[in-house]
Amino acid sequence: MADRKNNVGFLRLVLACAVIVGHAPEMIDGNVSREPLATLTSVLTLGSVAVDGFFLLSGYLITASMTRSTPLRYLSRRVMRIYPAFIVASLISIFILGPLVGAQVSGALPKAIAKIAFLRQPDYYIGQFPGLKHYPLLNGAMWTIAYEFRCYLLVFALGICGVLRKPGMMMAITLVVLGLFAALGIKPFATSLAEWGDHGAIKLLIGDPTQVIRLTSAFLVGSCLWVRGDGRTPQISGNVAAISAMAMVVTIVAVPVMGEVAVLTLGAVGLFWASFRANLGVLQTINDRWDISYGTYLYGWPIATYIRWAYPSIDPWTLAASTVPLALIAGAVSWHLIEAPTKDIRLFRRLTSWQRQSLVG
């Protein structure tokens, strides 16, 4: 960023913790009847809105990275930012947590490697979490990472094609994808899309089409803000952010089916104001020099699932309160031992050198 004094690190950590808090009641009940935001809106959950926030911020930050790097350097950074921590978290979930909770993981490594290559969450193994009624998954939150990495590849393609230098075209693409997301509220369209996406090859390559549209919409809104702003810090006033927040609430209440569209558009205004314009004082220093939010997100689910398996009578809020600090510790360990040492490793070093020589020539 041109202005390094921002609240992005703190807010990303808040979003990671919000996912954990939002998941806790659903993991115990098997539904969202006690989920904080669902009880208020009936259409949104804290976890889904937090993930949307992650993708909005990532769209902005990752597009900035692409416009400031050579394509291969960008790709190297993205691979090394996502894969090392994901690999370690997957292996820990399968081969350490798995046996602890009864999973029969003998001979699981070859398939696990294939899953990791495609950034897929661990399989369900016979015997894991005996007696656990809802979501007996080793790491059920990992599913979003593949969608984020595909968004990285989308930005790579847009950069190669020169679209990131064309604000009008970028805006048009963003509006089209947002329009598709809004159209998911039309039942025939949503049904047809689900049927089309219910094929193995499609699921492997792009995942769930509904989630592709939703998360790509969020990512592109952030990306578009960077491109339209030509790399300048978003100049959003507190008054504009407040008005947008009120408009978002009105939309959620008046037209619930458009609730998440309102979050991705009107809510984005408030998020970017909070990220770059709000004065949060000492809170700005939290998660500023490093970023433990990724590791916190990766380990939140397995920690929570183990706790609720070990203590079957635990209530959602005790589960959340127990999980968050442990996930923060796991996130810090992941950052210092895995992410920080690997994030600047350069892949494609020779190709990058050749590319630079070609550009000079």
> Tokens 């935001």 sit at which residue?
37
Q: Which two tokens stand for residue 47?
A: 């976890």
pLDDT less than 50: residues of the chain: 1-3, 359-361
For the chain, how many residues are written? 361
pLDDT at residue 356 in the model: 54
For 4-15, the pLDDT digits (tens) are: 589 999 999 999
> Tokens 């679209």 sit at which residue?
163
| Helix spans in the chain (H) | 8-29, 36-41, 46-67, 71-92, 98-100, 109-117, 143-160, 167-183, 187-197, 200-205, 209-228, 238-254, 259-276, 293-310, 316-334, 340-342, 349-360
pLDDT at residue 263 in the model: 98
Q: Burial, 64: exposed, middle or buried (Cβ in 10 Å; 0-12, 13-18, 19+)?
A: buried
40-51-69 Cα angle (round to 5): 150
pLDDT at residue 357 in the model: 56
DSSP class of 124? P
For 20-66, the pLDDT digits (tens) are: 999 999 999 999 999 999 999 989 999 999 999 999 999 999 999 99
pLDDT at residue 2 in the model: 42
